[in-house]
Amino acid sequence: MASVIFENVSLRIPIFNKRLFSLKKNINLSTDLVGVKKGSENGNLYSEILSNISFEINDNDSVGILGHNGSGKTTLLKVISGIYHPDIGNVKVVGRISPFLNVHSITKPDATGYENIKIFWLYFEKTSELKTLTKEVEKFSELGEYLNFPIKTYSAGMLTRLFFAILINIQTEIVAIDEGISTGDENFQKKANAELENYLGEKKIKFFATHDSNFAEKYCNKIFIMKKGTLKVYNNVKEGLDYFRNNYYKDN
């Protein structure tokens, strides 16, 4: 059984030490900094990117996460995936997670493709053999000898091939997908999309960050609406989408 539980979770990003800005009286703490909530603690200013978020997701749940740019969707997925850790509250995850996100915080640019496969394996997998994962990535990515080169020498398309091939072959129960994910050039995209559909069908829990309410209506049984780092949870998809589409979301 897989589950993801958030209990009063907040994530804070430090801005600066206010003592260094003591002469800058024009700084307005309530309006000049990004985030849902601004504050100071021990002389340091912070912006609260996620604020007091609670939910419980279990087997067979498919969650659509909707919100405007900067609302906190990708940040939430990174906390779910264990890439970011909350400053306040508890996160309980039962099951392994594949994060189809911007994963550059995990990778090492100076390391080779093969070395980055091992980094992902150590971070997310460790239950299957590294040798098996490596062979699958070699086959699916079609990168050949480039796997021996540092990934800082890769083009954007090559990086996409590598990361997608790794993630699609990591055995997990939960998947977190950001709408910004790319599957590479046209030929690889066809191959990737076909494999992704089969891959998703095997997952017990799915999280999708998206702007597309029609996609959420078709594929999801729960809706998360995010605004300025806060979260509303809807077990009724129609109710959640009605809230997202109306002027109340835009004006409040």
Domain assignment of residue 75, yes or no:
yes
Note the pLDDT tens digit of each residue in 78-106: 999 988 999 999 999 999 888 887 666 67
Give the mean pLDDT of 198-215. 89
Q: Is the pLDDT of residue 40 over 80?
A: no
- Average pLDDT of the chain to the nearest whole number: 84
Domain assignment of residue 5, yes or no:
no
Domain region containing 241: 55-251
Q: Is the pLDDT of residue 154 over 90?
A: yes
User: Which residues make Cβ contacts (< 8 Å) with residue 174, sequence separation at least 6?
Assistant: 2, 4, 93, 95, 96, 97, 98, 203, 204, 205, 206, 207
Q: What is the CATH number of the domain that holds 98?
A: 3.40.50.300
Domain assignment of residue 46, yes or no:
no
User: Which residues make Cβ contacts (< 8 Å) with residue 54, sequence separation at least 6?
Assistant: 6, 7, 8, 9, 89
Residue 160 banded pLDDT, cuts 50, 70, 90: confident
101 DSSP assignment: S
Residue 191 banded pLDDT, cuts 50, 70, 90: confident
Domain count within the chain: 1
Q: Is the pLDDT of residue 180 over 70?
A: no
Give how far Cα 34 sits from Cα of 69, 107, 229, Å: 13, 27, 10
- Phi/psi of residue 208, each to 5°? -125, 120
